[in-house]
A = this chain, B = another copy of it.
Amino acid sequence: MIQKVDMDTKVKFLHGFAHKIRIQILECIKEEEKTVSQIVKDLNGNQSSISQHLACLKGCGLIRGRQEGKYMYYSLRNQQVRDLLSMFDAVLEDVENDVESCENHID
């Protein structure tokens, strides 16, 4: 094997982060598992849409679901995914600062 991680798996995994609603879902369940309806309410979203994005996130390996009675609880897959989310924020603060300090004021 030339690369440790299969490229298609990686693309799929990263694709999970590439949509506003999916990022919101991830952040919404970052600290605690939630049911689909809690997520729908929190994001003020549409049930079908959220459900599809949840399926996507699960397929990407970012979250896991646990059924309890008629409720489905979703949570981040593991601590590493949580760390990634935190890292995004850290890197982004930096990016935003850079953008700010790049504003050229040519008088």
Contact = CB atoms under 8 A, between A and B. Distances in A.
Q: Range of interface residues on chain A?
A: 35 or more
A106 interface: no
Query: Most chain-B Cβ atoms within 10 A of its Cβ — which of A14, A19, A78, A80?
Result: A14
B98 A61 contact: yes
Interface string A1-38: 00011111111011101111001100000000000000
Contacts of A6: 96
B89 A5 contact: yes
Question: How many copies are assembled?
Answer: 2
A40 interface: no
B18 A18 contact: yes
Shortest 5 CB-CB contacts between residues of A and residues of B:
A18-B18, A61-B95, A14-B17, A5-B92, A80-B91
Given A14-B88, A18-B18, A84-B91, 9 more contacts: A7-B20, A8-B20, A17-B17, A77-B98, A80-B87, A80-B90, A81-B91, A83-B87, A84-B87
